[in-house]
Amino acid sequence: MFVQQPVGTRFSPSLLALALCLSGTQTTLAADTEKAPAPLELGATEISGEQLGETTEGTQSYTTGAMATATKLPLTMRETPQAVTVITRQRMDDQAMTSVNDVVKNTPGLFLSQAEGPGRQTYSSRGFDIDNMMFDGLPSAYSGYANSVQPNLAMFDRVEVIRGATGLVTGAGNPSAAINFVRKRPTATPQVSITGAAGSWDDYRMELDASSALNDSGTLRGRVVGSYRDANSFRDNETSDHGLFYAISEADLSEDTTATLGFSRQEDQTNFFWGGLPIGTDGHHLNLPRSTNPGSDWENKELAINTVFGDVEHRFDNGWKLNVSGSASQLDGVFTGSYQSRYQTELARTAYQSHQDNKQYAFDTFASGPVEAFGRTHEVVVGTSKRIYDATSKEYSPYDTNYPLNGAKPDFQRNGKTHSLTTQDGVYLTTRLNLADPLKVILGARLDWYDYDDRQSQDGDYKVTRNLTRYAGVIYDLDEHHSVYASYTDIFTPQSEKDLSGKVLEPIVGENYEVGIKGEYFNGALNASLAVFQVDQKNRATTAATQAGCPVLTCYGAAGLVRSQGIDLELQGALTENWQVGGGFTYTRAHFIKDSNPANDNQRFDTDTPERLFKLTTSYRFQGPLEKLRIGGNVYWQSRMYNDIALTNGSYYRLEQGSYAVADLMAGYQVNKHLDLQVNANNIFDRTYYSAIGASPTWGSTDTYGNPRSFGVTAKYSF
């Protein structure tokens, strides 16, 4: 099932060559089909949600008509009783997004953290780390600390984000958010595009996207996407390479049955990913030049991930449908790196190497459709799912915490291995009850069986049996455009800690309470929302008051509580016929209610995460004599973040990054019906700031500068 290549090889040009060959076929098809080219139409289009379905490609919109990430029910944003965001294909293109980092940085309520290193990024929402990503609705575990691949945005139509607890669709995880990447699908109409981009610091990118029917009847369709990027950085001697090959086919087995089968291979390489810049022994920023690279010339991180996926959907005459989907992926990665540290007083390096071999499998089967009861039509979803995460890490020595700053590459020798198998089985039921014309109620429940098997030692095994996840939402339509809602969702996180009896603690439970109001205008072309939320993460492990009789090293109790409270404001879609906007403001206060350390009570949960975030992007397409021109821009603002640095004399120094704003600009010009040009200018005022700040002068100091001013030019040619 998996196509395995040595990790040490870069993205194979043969893959891109294959894509180019296929594109030639698509071009021929397009030429045969296009007898009389239609004139270029760049005038205003009617603002109408009737034009918007789930697919965003080609709509020029910053919103979508429906999304099913929250409940598997195909609901509009107004009908979904949670804070939701969609990053459409148009918005990705306008902001020249290429990675998950770009999506997270521009999504309201989400924060990109590089506190563990610029290449070990983590994402958070409502105060908690995001540990689930989804691909076409199938969940996949994510950890920025491990060798996780940044999904290449070239193969996606849109990204849907649900903030808060998402246990109904993901099973286990944190009460933060779920990020669902929805892949591009084949089109029956031939379309081919070639994109080239060049930017500051020798950042070059090329993409090919070709789609067409593969037979005369159009019942068989295919699509290929190839992408390659080679980039340097504002940091000295930093390089990275990213390659993608994506292929998908879609077949109408009958009028009512459609099958999809696809494959993707992504390769990533970088030589700067772990430690950031050191801080002083007094806890202060050293204010080194932004171009400073604290790494060594022998550092490298190479990842390759192969994914096979598919689904079959059958639509019954009574409005019901049955969907069976699955995916299998294998990640192979080598991590060889260091960070600057002071474990023995003097500044040195901590050097480390590991080899990751991780496999993930996801399967889901569900049936959905209408039911009649009490004179009204309601909707039901019933399904079952299975997730398997098979993780192997090969460890190497030396793991040296006092390696010379300018030392040559250590002679790493394999000296150990970890291997674990995590299995999660679930069954779920969701219904939307149409109680009255203005009143809808969504109820859902899920049962999960979770098993963690440490293949190296039975002492690390733990399981959760029949965990119940609940979902409840009420939506009331105030008028044609506005609805108020209230919802409760939860999620669980298994724990490995044990109590005084030697029993594994009950899972952590994340509970999301949310009330809000949503507006839908121009038949769904513009969506607005305001939400107030509270997230309680309960049953966190706290050290037992007494260790007498403890059968393990340390015993715990499930008594800890972290509470997150805040507001979530968002606007996305069309303000006018030719003016798109997307953005929002979030305030989140996450704090300890009860913790193992009593000193943490009522203190901030994560101080180097900003409490306030404001993000806004917009684009405007001119009409009349300037109809070929479009302009846009975006603003990112965050409040201050800090760490209290423990010093050797027993005192503390508060290391801060104050609040800051970064502004970007965009201008595009449609030369003709084939060629489109675009210029992006990022951080136009060249604001100097730290995107991550150090936490200790001893270990893993990660002062990391944000990107300076940069420019990029993109040319897209469509056949």
Q: Is 152 helix (H, G, I), strand (E, B) or coil?
A: coil
Is residue 221 a contact partner of residue 210, using CB atoms and an 8 Å limit?
Answer: no
The whole model's pTM is what? 0.90
Q: Cα separation of 164 and 175, whole Å? A: 5
pLDDT level of residue 34 (50, 70, 90 thresholds): very low
pLDDT on residue 148: 64
The token duo for 147 is 């060798």
Q: Cα separation of 494 and 508, whole Å? A: 6
pLDDT of 28 above 90: no
Q: How far is CA 262 from CA 209, 213, 683, in A?
A: 15, 15, 38
Q: Cα separation of 104 and 107, whole Å? A: 5
pLDDT on residue 146: 63
pLDDT of 306 above 90: yes
Q: In DSSP terms, which residues pair with 527 in a beta bridge?
A: 520, 572
pLDDT of 309 above 90: yes
pLDDT of 23 above 70: no
**Distance, first Cα to last Cα, the chain:** 34
pLDDT on residue 15: 38
Handedness of CA 76, 103, 227, 393 (dihedral sign): negative
pLDDT of 240 above 60: yes
pLDDT on residue 24: 42
Task: Kindly tell me the burial class for residue 89, based on how many C-beta atoms sit within 10 Å of its own C-beta (0-12, 13-18, 19 or more).
Answer: buried
Tokens 């030392």 sit at which residue?
407
- pLDDT tens digits, residue range 88-141? 999 999 999 999 999 999 999 999 998 888 888 889 999 999 998 999 999 998
pLDDT of 700 above 80: no
Residue range 440-466: mean pLDDT, rounded: 93
Is residue 166 a contact partner of residue 173, using CB atoms and an 8 Å limit?
Answer: yes
- pLDDT tens digits, residue range 499-508? 999 999 999 9
Residue range 549-575: mean pLDDT, rounded: 94
Residue range 250-272: mean pLDDT, rounded: 96
pLDDT level of residue 51 (50, 70, 90 thresholds): low
pLDDT level of residue 31 (50, 70, 90 thresholds): very low
Non-local (6+) Cβ contacts of 304 within 8 A are 5, 7, 265, 266, 267, 268, 331, 332, 333
Closest CA to 107 of 552, 582, 537, 450: 582
Q: What percent of the chain has pLDDT over 90?
A: 80
The token duo for 556 is 């715990």
- Return phi, psi of residue 303, to 5°: -130, 145
Task: Kindly tell me the burial class for residue 437, based on how many C-beta atoms sit within 10 Å of its own C-beta (0-12, 13-18, 19 or more).
Answer: exposed
pLDDT on residue 20: 37
Within 10 angstroms of residue 452's Cβ, the number of other Cβ atoms is 18
Closest CA to 162 of 381, 489, 468, 426: 489
90, containing H or E segment? helix 89-94
pLDDT on residue 522: 93
pLDDT level of residue 39 (50, 70, 90 thresholds): very low
- pLDDT tens digits, residue range 149-198? 778 999 999 999 999 999 999 999 999 999 999 999 999 999 999 999 99
pLDDT of 16 above 70: no
Q: What is the largest CA-CA distance in the chain?
A: 86
535, containing H or E segment? strand 526-543
Four-CA torsion 12, 17, 20, 24, nearest 10 degrees:
-160
pLDDT level of residue 47 (50, 70, 90 thresholds): low
- pLDDT tens digits, residue range 613-650? 999 999 999 999 999 999 999 999 999 999 999 998 88
More confident residue, 28 or 151: 151
